[in-house]
Amino acid sequence: MLDRIREVASRHGFQAVAFWPISPLGDELEILQQWLDRGFSGSMGYLTRQASSGMTLDTNTPWARGGVSFLVRWDELHHGSETPWDAYVASYARGLDYHRVVQDRLQAIAAEIGFSRHQVQVDATVLPERALARRAGLGWIGKNRFLTHPKLGGDVCLSELLVDQPLCSVEVEIQQAPCGDCGACMDACPTGALTPHGVDAARCLAYHTTQNRGTIPIELRGLINHILGCDLCLRACPYGKAAGEGGVSDDGFLGRLIASRDRDEFSSLAGRGPLAYVGRRTVVRSAVVVAANRQRDDLVDCIADALCTDPSPLVRAHAAWALGRFDTAVPRLLLKRRHGIEPHSAVREEIAAALS
């Protein structure tokens, strides 16, 4: 059975597979609870709710008898599906929405093997997938909190399949992280989000561009260079084997993204990719910040138009901040003109701050 699963998984593009028994998640859930108790989850309240409601394998999937963890490198998963946003997102967010791609692959594997009952897991619950993969021998969890495979590195997509048949009853040797005194990932993080106790989401740039759907803290905005995600700690890891930067061809994509004003316009650009998963307001909010930090002078007029006409006060507020990052007379003139007629107080405050 195990060799059959490995063979089918390989044909469907997965590069590593490991198996784990259904057993209590005591240690893993205790670590999660400690992380939650430190307030490191930011606004992700659903994690607290799911953990407190007893997110355990035996209570939520009592029929499950075995689990499988699958790994594939992000660059391999996205190969052949290059998109206009690749230059503006972390490696995981390139190409089509990985949730759909991986779910389809896992469903196909389950159907081919013929499990009578199964459940696919792709970032869908608070399931401690990295800890389970480590338990199964797929790799170690380093100081950057990525699961790192000894050959594939840490730039990998992790997913799971719960099945109604026992697959493994033997505990494998857990791999210890070789980090030692190395702190390259922690040094690379510009906000100090990496701590000895885990990632503090409130300081993490990836969190603010994906999970935080509100205002990005002003002290962090100048550090954001991706519309979605951040690869800095992964790239710094000597074992990370991070993929290179995405495509550099813009073809006006960032400007069109900032200029989108409704769901239809945005959907025509985002398609079925990860931008659509996050949503127009959050993506355009981040896009104006990225345009400013990359000093895209060619987009000043586009950002100014967003300040004046975008229906979201959140986008307009960040557009005001973005215009303030350009050290020329035109953006300041545009900010002054808008200040007197902007109806939303939070946006006016951002305009005033940009002009100060």
CA distance 350 to 354: 6
- Are 30 and 61 in contact by the 8 Å Cβ rule? The answer is no
Helix ranges restricted to H, the chain: 2-11, 26-37, 45-52, 57-60, 74-77, 98-113, 129-135, 184-188, 205-210, 218-221, 232-236, 253-259, 263-270, 274-278, 280-293, 300-309, 313-323, 329-339, 345-355
CA distance 28 to 156: 21
Q: Is 123 a catalytic residue?
A: yes
- Are 227 and 279 in contact by the 8 Å Cβ rule? The answer is no
Phi, psi for residue 71 in degrees, rounded to 5 = -125, 140
H helix or E strand, kind and range, residue 161: strand 156-163
- Are 113 and 131 in contact by the 8 Å Cβ rule? The answer is no
Residue 322 contacts by C-beta under 8 Å, 6 or more apart in sequence? 288, 289, 291, 292, 303
Which residue is it, tokens 């025509």?
268
Find residue 329's DSSP bridge partners. Answer: none
Residue 138's nearest CA partner among 127, 130, 146, 149 is 149
Q: Indicate which residue of 27, 104, 123, 301 is catalytic.
A: 123
Phi, psi for residue 153 in degrees, rounded to 5 = 85, -160
CA distance 57 to 23: 8
DSSP string over 162-182: EESS----SPPPPPPP--TT-
Active site members: 123
